[in-house]
Structure 1
Amino acid sequence: MAHGHPGGRGIWKRKAGSSVANPADVKVADVSYQNDELAGLIVRAWKEDQPNGFRDSLLKGSYVQRMAAAQTALQNLPLHPINLASPIVITEDEYDAGWEADNDDQIVFVLPNRSRQVGDLLENAKLLMAATPNGI
């Protein structure tokens, strides 16, 4: 599925009767959720950015591959695992272009751009989780 959306920035879902010719037209509310373990995943994605590393597993490949990588990352959180049916991680660029959800159960996390901070600090990641809509 192409994920750019003519309405632009945000996460969009389809309502009954929508199609390729009639794209997703329901904008999903942007929310922020603070969680130290999720902030740790941000830092890990910033650090493990080599080809085929953790970051690439979250952001490259098919929808199914990206969803599986997100599920694995969330389920392997050490203290408070999270088990969602259809999580996916997208970049800020994908968010800004408009992301059309692949299904009604999809929960979209946005990985903040690494360029927004210096030093791979956990506190920076937590701040960006709050500042970036749906920050991972």
Structure 2
Amino acid sequence: MASHTKSQPNSGFNRRLFLAGAAGGAMLPVAAAHAVGSKKKQKRGIYADEAGKAKEDLEDKVADFSYQNDVLAQWIVDIWTGPAANPLITPSTGSISLLQYRNRSTAAKADLAARGIYLEKPIVITEDEYDAGFSLEDAGLDATIGVVFVLPRPTRPTLAGHPLLETAKMLMAITPNGI
């Protein structure tokens, strides 16, 4: 019996654009938020433009999507309730060097591996970094293998005295609020 394969036309799907959200990258479709005093749209999201490009000039946006996973939900809780200077997300403001991004990626790779998730170039960014526009190239991550996780702001849940796992799962289902 001969095997037949059905040829499909090229849909224009770009693997690089698909990879950036990866397992648990819960992110928003781009909202039409406007910068104060400007008619330009805010560059929220994750971009694969060349390194050093001005935030307002970013164009090569990667796909955003969410994925719910108990291990990743617990990871969110562990980051929220862990030390403030978590190596996964420190520093998250100001001018961040390539070395600091590499250190964050290395920490994410080790943390994920300890949870049974093996990725070559993962990185965790904060929701604020996502909102400001995050460049994979500026972080030294190849857009074809880099996987970006967006950590929800710790102000979203009520942290004191409540189990957070279900909260993290719910935030993973909406975007860009959960890893």
Per the normalisation by structure 1, the TM-score is: 0.79
- Show structure 2 runs of 5+ residues with no match: 1-40, 92-99
Provide, for residues 59-114 of structure 1, a one-character-per-residue CA deviation record: whole Å limited to 9, x for no partner: 1150111001100111111xxx1111110000000000000013222111000112
Q: How many residues align?
A: 121
Distance 1:25 1:108, change over 3 A: same
Gaps of 5+ in 1: 1-5
**2: CA distance, partners of 1:114 / 1:127:** 14
Which stretches of structure 1, 4 residues or longer, exceed 4 Å deviation after superposition?
21-24
Whole-angstrom CA distance in 2 between matches of 1:116 and 1:21? 31
Q: 1:26 to 1:41 in 2, by over 3 A?
A: same
Amino acid at match of 2:176: P
- Matched residues in 2 for 1:98 and 1:116: separation? 20
Aligned to 1:72: 110
Q: Which moved more, 1:22-31 or 1:63-72?
A: 22-31
CA-based RMSD:
2.1
Mapped contact 1:109–1:134 kept (Cα < 8 A): no
Equivalents in 1 of 2:53, 2:133: separation in Å? 16
After superposition, give the CA deviation of every residue in 1:2-55 in whole Å (9 maximum; x if it has no partner): xxxx951000012xxx4635764211111101000000010001111344xxxx
With over 3 angstroms needed to count, the CA separation of the structure-2 counterparts of 1:60 and 1:26, relative to structure 1, is: same
Q: What percentage of aligned pairs have identical amino acids?
A: 46
Q: Is the 8 A contact 1:47 1:120 kept in 2?
A: no
Amino acid across the alignment from 1:57: P
Partner of 2:44: 9
